[in-house]
Structure 1
Amino acid sequence: MASTEASVPRLHLRVANKKAYVWDVEDIATIRTKHRLCGVFTGTLPHMSQQNLFLGVPMVLLPEEVVLLVENELAVLVDDPNAHIQPSVPELQRWNAKEKELAQLRLAQLNAAIASLPAVLSEEAMQKRKERELKRQAAAAKAAEAAAEGSIFAPPENAPPPPPPPEPQYTVVIPASSISFEWYNDSACHYTTIQSAKEAGIWEYPSNLHERAKCGVFRGLWEQGMYMGGGIKFGGDYLVYPGDPLRYHAHFSATVLESPTFSLTPMEIVAHGRLGTVTKKSHLLCGWDDEKKEVSYLSIEWAGFG
């Protein structure tokens, strides 16, 4: 497959247990905005670790998305477990010393930030300041009333202007990054083709006719500018969106058929049509021709008579 963007550096998809993960946030943005692939977030967010509604990094790609990226020469597959190098004892000791030095630096920065903060007023001092403010406001109101006795339009001349509120000052401490990649090397275990990844045993999709049909249908819809997501909740293989799913509703729920002449029972046709109509979608039957490498499409929509 010819490269569509030959000058763009290839993305690294970290493969573990036959699944492809994307950990880099910039790579996730590139996959979403430039390559029109959505993936699925599976990581918990640090500040909301007990919820499962809004998830974060890493992003897991559908197998069809992985095949599309690799065949278009947009990504490479990385054998993530074998990319980790076992450190030696001296290396661990050096790392521990570096971490200890970094912790001391952070503690010094924190102490300096605390020392620069204004002193916290006691409760008694805060009460006295509040009383002074009330007296000042009462005096200003009395002066304004006395100045306005001759004319209701006379402005208060002797009323002192209220003091401006003190500007809050914040000290933000940004610690240096402690992430180290010296024990991670993926240069010797990345694969540029699906076949080479299969031979290495880290990837196996597609391995049969049905999986080839899903890859072919996915590519066919993607090349027409569509976005795809999982469609199991709507009785299909994919949900097909005309644009980014964050902005558009799906127009189709798509089912992949292994052949353009694949047999369907009348009950299946009725079920697809009724379910698509209830969910305000058309159901798309996508027949894959494995010899011609082509896809044929047929939409089903329930219609009333009489």
Structure 2
Amino acid sequence: MIDINPVMILIHLTDGKGFVWNVDDARMIREEHRLVGNLVGALVRKPRQNLRLGLPLQLLPEETRLLVEIGAASLVRHSLNEKDHSEDDDSSMDRAKSPSSTDDQDTLQTEVEVYEEYIEDSYKEQRKLALAEKRRTLEILSDRIAERRAKRRQQRGDVDETPMESSSTGPIKELQHLEETFYFPEETMMVHLPTARPSLGVVQEVDVCQASPDWPYAGQPEHEMRFKVFKDLWQRGYFLTSGNKFGGDFLVYPGDPMRYHAHFITICFPYNKEIPMSDLVTAGRLGTNVKKTVLLCSPNQEGAVTYTSLQWSGMQ
């Protein structure tokens, strides 16, 4: 177990992707650091709906690295026991990715049992509260219910009544055995949606500057190029999101994407390398079709980025 600053945002790594599970951290990332991410959480009963998504917040690799570099976040991974990160060789990485030892299975079994016990206790507590509410409602309405039943019996001419039932007021028979007859289906119980990831096993901090199975981007030329462009545009005050749906690397917004449309589509190219004419034509037509300006971005070794904008002028 490592000591992590509780004020720092925790980005949890899963299969090389960064996720934020804490709702306050997700809000801080957007409001204070101008990073958007992408909510990917869905309800268990409707896993395919994509209109109302919630936590976790999935971050782009560039967003993840930027938060770590500016000191706002810490990159962490979770393992089931200390042995998973006692060494950094290939065998320890394989164990972390595919836990198959007896200790790992026992730990997982314990987590499942704790969760099932929590669900059972929650159901009992909610049933108790629902029963109390049902009893309180019946006690308030008991006189009115008994009076209406007495009137219906008189209208039917039913004279075979018990002394309690013949009274126009007083407790109704449902209250006598409410504890035994009350039914509270498990499907209707409320489920607590956590706003932070519970601690599972041991937490280890991941170095963003070193490549690993949890963070494979370090040192990759394409990632380094994209990150330099992303950081430069972010420092200029823009908001950025993934540009995959428009065929680019990033979409660039003048403000929060909830309030503005994207103005630019960025496409990253290596510095001082020729760009095929077919790529230029494709990028120009792309920007014209979606009414956005295409930015060809090429960072050099020092991190300075050269921008070239493409706009379709039409035939003269």
Q: Same fold (TM over 0.5)?
A: yes
Ranges in structure 1 where 5+ consecutive residues have no aligned partner: 1-6, 129-173
Q: Deviation per CA, 1:181-232: give whole Å up to 9, x if none.
A: 8863555x123x4135x35x42121332121000111101111111111212
Alpha-carbon distance between aligned partners in 1 of 2:131 and 2:277, rounded to the nearest angstrom: 75
Taking structure 1 as the reference length, what is the TM-score of the superposition? 0.68
Q: Deviation per CA, 1:245-265: give whole Å up to 9, x if none.
A: 111000000001121x22112
| CA radius of gyration, larger in | 1
Aligned to 1:288: 299
Q: Deviation per CA, 1:233-286: give whole Å up to 9, x if none.
A: 222111111111111000000001121x22112222222122212211110000
Asked if the contact 2:79/2:201 (under 8 Å) is kept, the reply is no
User: 1:17-166 to 2 correspondence within 5 Å?
Assistant: 17-45=15-43, 48-82=46-80, 87=107, 100-117=120-137, 118-119=140-141
Secondary structure at the residue paired with 1:210? helix
User: How far apart are residue 49 of structure 1 and its match?
Assistant: 4.0
Alpha-carbon distance between aligned partners in 1 of 2:43 and 2:193, rounded to the nearest angstrom: 20
Secondary structure at the residue paired with 1:253? strand
Taking structure 2 as the reference length, what is the TM-score of the superposition? 0.66
Aligned to 1:137: none
Asked if the contact 1:287/1:296 (under 8 Å) is kept, the reply is yes
Q: Percent identity over the alignment?
A: 31
* Cα distance change, pair 186–276 in 1 and its aligned pair in 2 (3 A): same
Secondary structure at the residue paired with 2:76? strand
Ranges in structure 2 where 5+ consecutive residues have no aligned partner: 83-103, 152-188
* Cα distance change, pair 62–109 in 1 and its aligned pair in 2 (3 A): same
* Cα distance change, pair 57–304 in 1 and its aligned pair in 2 (3 A): same
Alpha-carbon distance between aligned partners in 1 of 2:249 and 2:199, rounded to the nearest angstrom: 40
Alpha-carbon distance between aligned partners in 1 of 2:197 and 2:14, rounded to the nearest angstrom: 18
User: How far apart are residue 77 of structure 1 and its match?
Assistant: 1.2
Q: Deviation per CA, 1:6-65: give whole Å up to 9, x if none.
A: x99211111111111111111111111111111122221357544233322212111111
Corresponding residue pairs, total:
247
Asked if the contact 1:206/1:215 (under 8 Å) is kept, the reply is no
Aligned to 2:183: none
The alignment yields a C-alpha RMSD, in angstroms, of: 3.6
